[in-house]
A and B are shown apart, each in its own frame.
Chain A
């Protein structure tokens, strides 16, 4: 098994770790985001996109995170389904709204960029449509969990749906190739090196790390909240029985 989940699967150890890790990641996120934004605004205007290129520093990391969080949701769901671990389920439940928020941010900022650059708020291009579908997957996951009253059943049903949705992620990548897309192809993760100029690449990477830390911090906070909620519920149940 993956070492980090194995170490953290002990709730006591997880609570001790997350107690200082959550604020630490949060502080790192703030510092990185400030640095990334400062470099982003200091960068020169793009010769084609003008000032709108700065939307990229918000948009592209959000789009990366939308897929990364779904991968986290998928892994947590797998662990909760196979090992029936309560903490893994709490992690899956906590990740979904965060992922939906990142996906919405990517869609909204993309739309703001598309209006001046493409002349349209929304274009039915393959990759944008796939991200929209990813957002619908998050919505479906949260709707399913909210609709089932029995928590154990909701956890397993949600995990099954999340794993079904994992099949969507390869289609996101594949669909870009299948259509002649309006959207830019990959320009950072390429075999021949990034094609983005350094002045734009550094703030972009700083922002990506900031988003990652922010997600880590918020995720831990939400899992802690979920653990506490379940503990409070168990205590209330015990008090009611006594």
Chain B
């Protein structure tokens, strides 16, 4: 347990500092949210209709950003080889890495998400659900994204490849989270979408590390 705690501290410190930390993610998120009204037009009615969904999609894109650093850094300097030699199973190591990634980018993004949604014209009473969806969905983005990051280890143009692999995997959480937000916005029951988002996140957290560990072992073999 103490090993896992030390690993989590290391990973969080690395994800938090050294470039690509929370400020970069939130900055990117703010940038996307700014471009949107510039592209779509600034009429409040039009923006308000798409605000919760747009905030949600920008979140998925921001989650992509730091994925290429998730395994690549440790793979290049040999730390990943050392980590696989440790008594902690590689599956746990991968899960801890994704958790640290979520702590460093998912949490700050979840706090920034309602600000962006309100700025785009969403009703402030959506804020609670926006934060909850962003927290839960961010966990799914981290764990599904980790699969793409681990699979593209050692590939040419790994960062772009990660995005191509991961974006289709982001479809269900984007649909469920966006569905929940849209339902609440129009006064419909939103719990089904939120529960499905939770189910998808649970599956991603449970099964993602198996695929990530298999992919890491393959890359290191």
Q: Is the interface of A mostly helix, strand, loop or mixed?
A: helix
Q: Is A160 touching B218 in the complex (CB atoms < 8 A)?
A: yes
Of A133, A137, A147, A167, the residue contacting B161 (CB under 8 A) is A147
A147 contacts which chain B residues (CB < 8 A)?
Answer: 152, 155-158, 161
Residues on B lying within 8 angstroms of A by beta carbon are 147, 151-152, 154-158, 161, 164-165, 167-169, 171-172, 175, 196, 203, 207, 211, 214-215, 218-219, 221
A sample of 29 inter-chain contacts (CB < 8 A) reads A129-B171, A136-B168, A137-B168, A140-B165, A143-B161, A144-B151, A144-B155, A144-B161, A147-B155, A147-B156, A147-B157, A147-B161, A148-B154, A148-B155, A152-B221, A153-B154, A156-B214, A157-B218, A160-B147, A160-B211, A160-B215, A161-B165, A163-B211, A164-B211, A165-B168, A167-B203, A168-B168, A171-B172, A178-B196
CB of A7 to closest CB in B, whole Å:
28
**Contact yes or no, B171 A144, CB < 8 A:** no
Question: Chain B residues near A144 (CB, 8 Å)?
Answer: 151-152, 155, 161, 165
B142 to chain A minimum Cβ distance, whole angstroms, is 15
Q: Does any Cβ of B come within 8 Å of A175's Cβ? A: yes
Chain B, Cβ-Cβ closest to A147: B155
Number of interface residues of A (CB under 8 A): 26
Q: Is the CB of A133 within 8 A of B219?
A: no
Residues of A within 8 Å of B155, CB to CB, are: 144, 147-148
Interfacial chain A residues near B161, Cβ < 8 Å: 143-144, 147
Option from A136, A153, A165 in Cβ contact (under 8 Å) with B219: A153
Q: How far is the CB of A148 from the nearest CB of chain B, in Å?
A: 5
Interface 1/0s, chain A 194-223, versus B by CB < 8 A?
000000000000000000000000000000
**Beyond A147-B157, A175-B175, is A157–B215 a contact (Cβ under 8 Å)?**
yes
Chain B contacts of A167 at CB under 8 A?
203, 207
Interface residues of A in 139-188 (CB under 8 A from B): 139-140, 143-144, 147-150, 152-153, 156-157, 160-161, 163-165, 167-168, 171, 175, 178
B207 to chain A, nearest CB (A): 8
* Interchain CA distance A150-B152 in the complex, whole Å: 12
Given A133-B168, A140-B165, list of 9 further CB < 8 A pairs?
A: A133-B171, A136-B167, A144-B155, A144-B165, A147-B158, A152-B221, A156-B214, A161-B147, A164-B147
Collect the chain A residues with CB atoms within 8 Å of residue B152's CB: 144, 147
Distance in angstroms from A137 CB to nearest chain B CB is 5
CB-based nearest A residue for B203: A167
The answer to whether A160 touches B151 (Cβ under 8 A) is yes
A133–B203 Cα gap in the complex (Å)? 19
Across-interface contacts of B168 in A (CB, < 8 A) = 133, 136-137, 140, 165, 168
Residue among A136, A147, A171, A178 with max Cβ neighbours from chain B (10 Å): A147
Query: Are B221 and A143 within 8 A (Cβ)?
Result: no
Minimum CB–CB distance for A239 against chain B, Å? 27
- With the chains together, A148 CA to B150 CA distance in Å? 13
Least CB distance from A50 to B in Å reads: 34
CB contacts (< 8 Å) of A163 on chain B: these are 211
Q: Write the nearest CB–CB distance from B37 to chain A, whole angstroms.
A: 22
Q: Which 5 A-B pairs have the closest CB atoms?
A: A147-B155, A136-B168, A156-B218, A140-B165, A157-B151
In contact, A140 and B154 (Cβ under 8 angstroms): no
Which A residues are in CB contact (< 8 Å) with B211? 160, 163-164
Q: Inside 8 A of B165's CB, which chain A residues have their CB?
A: 140, 143-144, 161
* Bound CA span A167–B147, Å: 14
Which residues of chain B have C-beta atoms less than 8 A from A153's C-beta? Answer: 154, 218-219, 221
The docked-state distance in angstroms from the alpha carbon of A137 to that of B151 is 14
Known contacts A136-B168, A143-B165, A175-B175; is-contact A160 B154 (Cβ 8 Å): no
Tell me how far the C-beta of A182 lies from the nearest C-beta in chain B, rounded to whole angstroms. 16
Asked if A164 contacts B169 (CB within 8 A), the reply is: yes
A19 CB → nearest B CB, Å: 33
Residues of B within 8 A of A164 (CB): 147, 169, 211
Q: Mark A106-136, 1 if CB is under 8 A from B, else 0.
A: 0000000000000000000000010001001
Cβ of B200 to closest chain A Cβ, rounded Å: 9
Cα A75 to Cα B71 in complex, Å, equals 28
